[in-house]
């Protein structure tokens, strides 16, 4: 019976290894015949240090305020954030503006007023009734509908940024080496699989959840003034990080200057703005992160104390019984 179990286990291991090898061969074949989507240039995507990273990390209020300024002055011209309300800007754990400050931000905006007492939604000229927004209103969208947004952006629909930091991320780095034969494919498959396992264990142990901000920061700082030779992006912009490299959104913060005569101050300002707005979008995606982490720490301390008490009770109850 033990021999049968051993053979079955060995066969299972061979099946797993073979599966990884076949998967690697398929990826190599796709690379030779043209993959459906071009991979990210992972050399431009690095993990950044964030104040809200790790088990005890918290948002930096000053950074969130700077990030909101960037969003309000740059991003809001094209992107909506419909899941966020203006009152959220004054809540604890976020930018924590005063209500008067938030009211000043929205003083020049208008929202659809809805039907009046007679049930009418438009005036005699066909214009909709509008009113000044209040704190409970959601962020005003720059366009009335998706079709108008697409018409103003050459057919591309600017995505809503409410949960963008949760909708994006960075994958674990893979070898990407094309397999020349089945043995190399198996070796590369095993190496990639082990690397993935270690990556997951590391992310779990460090509570890594900043893949979205890392990607957004990399995207904003990876524009190029011109596409490399042999790379045609048409009327779109070239970005090292965006899949396929051709992105409809022009560089919202500009491009980093390179070379010996590069403006270091301008580059530093661009990097700072990109990091600030990335942090703000993370807060928009998870505005209660500070409270969640504070509660989580208290729960961990409680469980540690409870475990110690339970162990002491167990030792006390069974002290006179031989084990």
**The pair of three-digit structure tokens given for residue 242, joined into one six-digit string:** 């965006």
In a domain, 61, yes or no: yes
- The C-alpha angle 96, 218, 159, rounded to 5 degrees, equals 65
The DSSP string of 254-284 is -----STT--HHHHHHHHHHHHHHHHHHHHH
Q: Which helix (H) or strand (E) holds 95?
A: none
Whether 174 and 189 have beta carbons less than 8 Å apart is answered as: no
Whether 246 and 81 have beta carbons less than 8 Å apart is answered as: no
Is the same domain home to 311 and 273?
Answer: no
In a domain, 116, yes or no: no
Q: Where are the alpha helices (DSSP H) in the chain?
A: 2-33, 61-73, 99-105, 146-152, 164-167, 182-206, 211-220, 264-285, 289-317
In sequence order, the 6+-apart residues with CB closer than 8 A to the CB of 311 are none
In a domain, 305, yes or no: yes
In sequence order, the 6+-apart residues with CB closer than 8 A to the CB of 229 are none
Whether 136 and 90 have beta carbons less than 8 Å apart is answered as: no
C-alpha 278 chain-centroid distance: 8
Is the same domain home to 244 and 196?
Answer: yes
Whether 227 and 233 have beta carbons less than 8 Å apart is answered as: yes
Is the same domain home to 302 and 283?
Answer: no
Domain CATH number, residue 60: 1.10.760
- CA-based R_g, the chain, Å: 27
Is the same domain home to 65 and 195?
Answer: yes
Is the same domain home to 223 and 311?
Answer: no
Domain membership of residue 263 as a residue range = 2-84+166-287
Residue 83 buriedness (CB in 10 A; 0-12 / 13-18 / 19+): middle
Q: Quote the DSSP letter at residue 59.
A: -
In a domain, 100, yes or no: no
**The pair of three-digit structure tokens given for residue 276, joined into one six-digit string:** 């600030």
In a domain, 161, yes or no: no
In a domain, 114, yes or no: no
Is the same domain home to 309 and 282?
Answer: no
Per-residue pLDDT of the chain (323 residues; tens, 9 = 90+): 555 666 556 556 555 545 544 444 444 444 444 334 444 556 568 899 999 998 889 999 999 999 999 999 999 999 999 999 999 999 999 999 999 999 999 999 988 887 877 777 777 777 788 889 999 999 999 998 999 999 999 899 999 999 999 999 886 654 444 455 556 666 776 777 787 788 778 888 888 889 999 999 999 999 999 888 888 888 899 999 998 899 999 999 999 988 888 889 999 999 999 999 999 999 999 999 999 999 999 999 999 999 999 999 998 988 877 76
pTM of this structure: 0.78
**Number of structural domains found in the chain:** 2
Residue 152 buriedness (CB in 10 A; 0-12 / 13-18 / 19+): middle
The Cα 146–Cα 26 span in angstroms is: 39
Is the same domain home to 249 and 311?
Answer: no
């Amino acid at each position: 019976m033990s021999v049968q179990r051993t053979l079955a286990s060995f066969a299972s291991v061979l099946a797993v290894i073979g599966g990884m090898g076949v998967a690697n061969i398929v990826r190599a074949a796709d690379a030779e015949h043209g993959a459906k989507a071009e991979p990210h240039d992972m050399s431009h995507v690095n993990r950044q240090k964030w104040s809200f990273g790790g088990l005890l990390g918290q948002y930096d209020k000053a950074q969130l305020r700077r990030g909101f300024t960037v969003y309000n002055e740059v991003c809001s011209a094209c992107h909506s954030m419909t899941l966020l309300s203006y009152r959220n800007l004054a809540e604890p754990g976020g930018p924590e503006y005063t209500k008067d400050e938030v009211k000043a931000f929205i003083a020049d905006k208008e929202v659809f007023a809805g039907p009046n007492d007679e049930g009418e939604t438009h005036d005699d000229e066909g214009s909709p009734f509008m009113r000044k927004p209040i704190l409970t209103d959601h962020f005003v969208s720059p366009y009335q509908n998706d079709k108008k947004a697409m018409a103003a952006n050459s057919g591309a629909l600017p995505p809503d940024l409410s949960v963008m930091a949760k909708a994006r991320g960075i994958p674990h780095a893979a070898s990407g080496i094309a397999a020349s034969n089945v043995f190399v494919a198996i070796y590369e498959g095993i190496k990639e699989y082990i690397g993935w396992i270690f990556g997951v264990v590391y992310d779990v142990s460090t509570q890594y959840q900043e893949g979205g901000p890392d990607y957004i920061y990399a995207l904003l700082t990876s524009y190029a003034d011109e596409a490399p030779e042999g790379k045609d992006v048409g009327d779109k912009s070239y970005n090292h990080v965006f899949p396929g490299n051709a992105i409809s959104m022009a560089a919202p913060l500009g491009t980093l200057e390179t070379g010996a005569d590069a403006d270091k101050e301008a580059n530093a300002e661009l990097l700072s703005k990109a990091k600030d707005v990335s942090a703000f979008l993370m807060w928009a995606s998870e505005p209660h992160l500070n409270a969640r982490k504070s509660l989580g720490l208290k729960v961990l301390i409680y469980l540690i104390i409870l475990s110690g008490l339970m162990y002491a009770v167990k030792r006390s109850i069974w002290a006179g019984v031989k084990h």
